[in-house]
């Protein structure tokens, strides 16, 4: 208990922060030795005058208050030098010196812990995706790590709990302070099935300036972080940046950007054999459909211009010239043919599963699915006769990549 008092004394010094506390530990080895340091002992430390002055305050009133609150609330305290402090967290640039935990204990270094973060006011489809991801991850034994705020955070946590799994919420205030207030019951559920974690002692209100440093802990506990929906300048992007700096896997759910894209993926899941498809395993590009493309003086430039705007395919009944078709191939645009001219319309999606294998193996008929307004129709595509080199060019992405490889 005495050792713990010194840790709480160190972490309650004004102006010190995690990096400053780590500097103190590097010099004095233990918080107890830092506590008994005199002014001349502190002069060599690269700390601000405020931090050094705070280290000369030897009052134990605040540490004793924190210990009393933790005892009353049945909270656990883990310090940076404890054996069960997560190794993943210890390796980040600014690890928290102390963690306050309400709920179960976890061996984070042995957990498949994935952070799920996102906007506080997301689209409904993003909320559903976050909840589904949380549920599926938990059902497979993974650990969902998030906050507990409005939007994506609480959806992911609710999904994990609905899946009968566990969730950890990392907070920007004391674990006894419910924020937002309407999530009181969710707080209780997370504490029962998982854990609430914070570097802030009980009684600390959730403040805006606490959220950015909170995010480094969230990503630091995880193997990777998934952003379901986010804006370029947001707390979610701060978490992603923390994850990248910490060497974690970081990614964004492609369905979180556009409701029509998300609806298309939901439709794909209704196709037999694709019920569990991961959006990240599906490429996404644009295409054009025309009866007989490639006629006209600009045909040599047409393929390159399409590629610039993300074209992956043409779909036609026939091609006007061999040159236009060759240009498409050289730019990595698949020259599909179809006889089902009524199946395609502006704004629809065409899902072509296993297309790379079909092209390389020279399949005459390629099964595809047209998705429009949630409805799915199966069609047949073909690519005509491709030479072995043409197949390799398409598989490589373009002629330049083919020669590079």
Domain ranges of the chain: 1-60, 74-256, 279-404
Residues of the chain with pLDDT under 70: 1-2, 233, 249-259, 280, 296-301, 308-309, 405
C-beta separation of 279 from 265 below 8 A: yes
- E runs forming strands in 13-83: 76-79
Q: What is the pLDDT of residue 155?
A: 94
Residue 291 DSSP one-character state: S
Q: Does domain 279-404 have CATH number 3.40.190.10?
A: no
Half-sphere exposure of 197 (CA within 13 A, CB side): 29
Contact 360, 388 (CB under 8 A): no
Tokens of 319: 């091609």
For position 300, what pLDDT does the model report? 53
pLDDT in tens, 179-192: 889 999 999 999 99
Q: What is the pTM of this model?
A: 0.66
Residues 209-219 as b or e (16 or more Cβ within 10 Å = b): ebbebbbbbbb
Total Cβ atoms within 10 A of residue 358 = 20
Predicted local distance difference test score (pLDDT) of residue 75: 96
- pLDDT of res. 250: 63
Contact 206/170 with Cβ under 8 angstroms?
no
DSSP letter string, 214-230: HHHHHHHTSSEEEESS-
pLDDT at 191: 95
How many whole angstroms separate alpha carbon 55 and alpha carbon 43? 11
- Burial class from Cβ neighbours inside 10 Å (0-12, 13-18, 19+) for residue 398 reads middle
- CA distance linking residue 118 with residue 400, whole number of Å: 38
Check residue 297 and give its pLDDT. 52
The confidence score (pLDDT) of residue 174 equals: 96
Q: Look at residues 220, 157, 156, 217 and name the one whose alpha carbon lies nearest to residue 193.
A: 157
Let me know if the fold of 74-256 is the same as that of 279-404.
Answer: no
Find out whether 35 and 9 touch, Cβ atoms under 8 Å: yes
Our CA dihedral for 344, 350, 353, 357, rounded to 10 degrees, sits at: 70
The fold for domain 74-256 equals Rossmann fold (3.40.50)
Is the Cβ–Cβ distance between 184 and 178 less than 8 Å? yes
* Model pLDDT for residues 75-94, shown as the tens digit of each residue: 999 999 899 999 999 888 88
Q: Quick one: angle between helices 152-162 and 184-193, nearest 10?
A: 50
């Amino acid at each position: 208990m005495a050792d713990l008092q010194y840790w709480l004394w160190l972490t309650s010094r004004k102006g010190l922060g995690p990096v400053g506390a780590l500097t103190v530990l590097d010099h004095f080895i233990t918080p107890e030795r830092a506590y008994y340091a005199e002014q001349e002992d502190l002069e060599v430390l690269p700390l601000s005058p405020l931090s050094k002055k705070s280290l000369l305050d030897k009052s134990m009133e605040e540490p004793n208050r924190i210990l009393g609150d933790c005892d009353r609330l049945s909270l656990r305290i883990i310090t940076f030098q404890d054996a069960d402090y997560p190794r993943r967290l210890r390796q980040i640039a600014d690890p928290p010196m102390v963690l306050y935990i309400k709920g179960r204990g976890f061996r984070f270094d042995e957990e498949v812990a994935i952070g799920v973060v996102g906007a506080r006011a997301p689209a409904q489809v993003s909320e559903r995706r976050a909840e589904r991801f949380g549920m599926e991850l938990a059902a497979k034994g993974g650990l969902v790590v998030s906050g507990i705020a409005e939007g994506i955070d609480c959806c992911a946590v609710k999904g994990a709990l609905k899946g009968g799994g566990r969730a950890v919420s990392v907070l920007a205030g004391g674990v006894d302070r419910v924020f937002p207030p309407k999530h009181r019951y969710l707080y209780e559920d997370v504490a029962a099935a998982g854990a609430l974690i914070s570097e802030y002692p009980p009684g600390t209100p959730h403040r805006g300036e606490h959220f950015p440093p909170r995010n480094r802990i969230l990503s630091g506990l995880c193997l990777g972080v998934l952003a379901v929906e986010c804006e370029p300048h947001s707390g979610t992007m701060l978490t992603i940046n923390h994850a990248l700096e910490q060497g974690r896997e970081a990614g964004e759910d492609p369905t979180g950007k556009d409701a029509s894209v998300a609806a298309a993926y939901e439709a794909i899941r209704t196709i037999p054999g694709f019920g569990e498809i991961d959006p990240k395993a599906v490429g996404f590009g644009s295409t054009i459909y025309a009866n007989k493309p490639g006629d006209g003086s600009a045909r040599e430039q047409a393929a390159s211009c399409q590629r610039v705007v993300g074209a992956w395919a043409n779909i036609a009944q026939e091609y006007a010239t061999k040159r236009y078709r060759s240009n498409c191939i050289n730019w990595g645009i698949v020259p599909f043919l179809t006889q089902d001219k009524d199946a395609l319309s502006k704004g629809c999606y065409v899902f072509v599963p296993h297309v790379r294998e079909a092209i390389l193996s020279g399949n005459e008929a390629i099964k595809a699915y047209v998705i429009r307004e949630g409805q799915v129709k199966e069609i047949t595509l073909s690519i005509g006769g491709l030479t072995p080199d043409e197949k390799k060019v398409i598989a490589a992405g373009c002629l330049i990549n083919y020669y590079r490889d």
